[in-house]
Structures are given as structure tokens and as C-alpha cells.
Amino acid sequence: MSHAATEVQLKFDRSRQHLTELEGGIREYLAREPFSVSSEEDATGDLVYRVQVKRSPPIQLSLPLGDAIHSARSALDYLAWQLVIAGGGTPDKTTAFPISANETQFNKNFRNYLRGASTLSMTAVKALRPFQGGDDRFWRLHKLDIEDKHHLLIPVGAAHRSVNVSFGFPGANPIVVGLKPMVREYPLNNGAEVYRVMHAARESAEQGIGGTHSFGFDVAFGEVVIVSGEPIIPTLAELIGGIENTVVPLFRFLN
């Protein structure tokens, strides 16, 4: 691996370090059991489970979140800079890794961002389709980086992730079924419904088919349209790791 490629890799490594810090902060927050769930019977006889949010995610989580995003975006721009140098050009203030809102905009502008890079490297970048509607991971990362420049990416509340239902049958070992909600409740507010046991199902339980429930929650992105309500850690890990693996083939054009 060339020296330039190693430096690009180091920037991605730095992004993952921020992601590790963020993951630790989220684990610490969830370990404090910030949510509780209680049940009540409604007028139809259904058993309704509702969440109580005792502690919101700390705003400090926004700092490593933004740092992880910005480090990954910076790695891409540094890669573009090195592609221009390797092609014999001189990078300037317009040099950047091209990411666009659509294919038409990308095809119109990407050569300007990579002016001085070799034709082969430009063709390779174009083949990655780093625009919305192509490889959307690039566009999502780009938009998140822009959002972070203007305000904190506050992971407000959380999103309902899953319900684990343990069914007990007479004379048999319990069966645990993991259920994911069709609509993720986000953001979670006090009193939000996270699960419902229909009246008919409750009658079955009274006949010996019992069920116990446990609930899982995610710390999620705040009011950012492109990822609003999505769980932070798996979303960012997929973006950063996926983009890094996708651009590695461009390293062959570096000095």
C-alpha cells in the first residue's frame, strides 16, 4: 500500500475510533435502564404496553457522532486530493470527492472536483456512482456531514426495536419469539404504545398458553430527515465500513 493510501486509511481508522467512543457512550446510557414498560387494559379488553422514558440520551453523544461522520467524509476528500496529485495535477480549493444529489448533477460536476486526476481514476470514481439513487451510502454520509456543520446531531429519545415474547405451554419448554414492529415508534415519548395483546389472545393465555414480554430499544438519530429514527450504531457502522471498502480499489491510482 502506498504512503498516500495509508494516510487515507488512517482517516477511516480515526472515524472508527470515534464510532467506538460513541458506542461506549450509548452502552453506558442504556445500562442505566432509561426506559420502563407498563401495561394496562383498554376499553376493548386488549392489553396495551406503554413505555416511560425516564432519561433522554445525553447531548454529549452528539460529539463523537459528528466526529465519526466528519472523519469519514474527510477521508474521502483526502483521497480525492491524492488522486489529483497522482495524476500530475495540483489540488485547489475546489478539489473534493464528488457526491451529488442525483446522477445528472454528478455527471455535470464530478470532473471539476477531480481536475488534474488521471482519466482512469476519474472513470473509476464515476463507476462507484456516489450520488443519491446510485450508491446512497455516499449521499447519506455527505448529508449527515453537512447537517453536523450547522447543528448538533442530537440522538433524541429512542426507537422501539423489538419485542421478545416467551410462550409457555403446559408440559413443554418455553418458546421465545422475537418480533420487530412494522412501524418503529419514533421518537419515543412517555405513554407511547409499544405492544398490544388482543383480547382473543388474552383468552388463550387464560386457557394455559401463557406469555411474558421483554422489550428492546435503540438510541436513534434525531430530526435529520435522511436517517431520522434509524439506530445510530448499525447505521453509521454500515455507512463508514461500506464506503471504506468501496473506495479501496481507488488506492491503485495513488503514488
pLDDT, one tens digit per residue, over 28-53 is 998 998 888 888 888 888 888 888 88
Please state, in angstroms and rounded to a whole number, the distance separating the CA atoms of residues 243 and 114.
Answer: 18
Please state, in angstroms and rounded to a whole number, the distance separating the CA atoms of residues 71 and 79.
Answer: 12
Task: Please report whether residue 17 resides in a domain.
Answer: yes
Burial of 52 (0-12, 13-18, 19+ CB in 10 A): middle
pLDDT in tens, 125-163: 999 999 999 999 999 999 999 888 766 655 545 555 655
Residues 196, 46 contacting (CB under 8 angstroms): yes
Q: C-alpha grid cell for residue 70?
A: 466528519
Task: Please report whether residue 188 resides in a domain.
Answer: no
Largest CA-CA distance found in the chain, in angstroms, rounded: 79
Contacts of 60 (CB under 8 A, 6+ apart): 25
> Which residue in this structure is represented by grid cell 455507512?
239
Domain carrying residue 64: 3-38+59-153+231-253
Full-model pTM: 0.83
Residues 86, 4 contacting (CB under 8 angstroms): yes
Q: What percent of the chain has pLDDT over 70?
A: 78
Task: Please report whether residue 47 resides in a domain.
Answer: no
Task: Please report whether residue 66 resides in a domain.
Answer: yes
What sign results for the dihedral spanned by CA atoms 248, 249, 250, 254?
A: positive
Q: C-alpha grid cell for residue 121?
A: 481514476
Query: Which backbone phi and psi does 89 adopt, to 5 degrees?
Result: -90, 180
Task: Please report whether residue 145 resides in a domain.
Answer: yes
Q: Which residue has the higher pLDDT, 215 or 135?
A: 135
Distance between terminal CA atoms of the chain? Answer: 9
Residue from 62, 16, 46, 88 nearest 238 by CA = 16
Residue from 36, 38, 41 nearest 202 by CA = 41
Rounded average pLDDT over 1-17: 95
Task: Please report whether residue 214 resides in a domain.
Answer: no
What sign results for the dihedral spanned by CA atoms 32, 29, 165, 37?
A: positive
Distance from chain centroid for Cα 63 = 15
State how many domains the chain has: 1
pLDDT in tens, 79-100: 999 999 999 999 999 999 999 9
Q: Which residue has the higher pLDDT, 108 or 166?
A: 108
Task: Please report whether residue 129 resides in a domain.
Answer: yes
> Which residue in this structure is represented by grid cell 480499489?
249
Task: Please report whether residue 75 resides in a domain.
Answer: yes
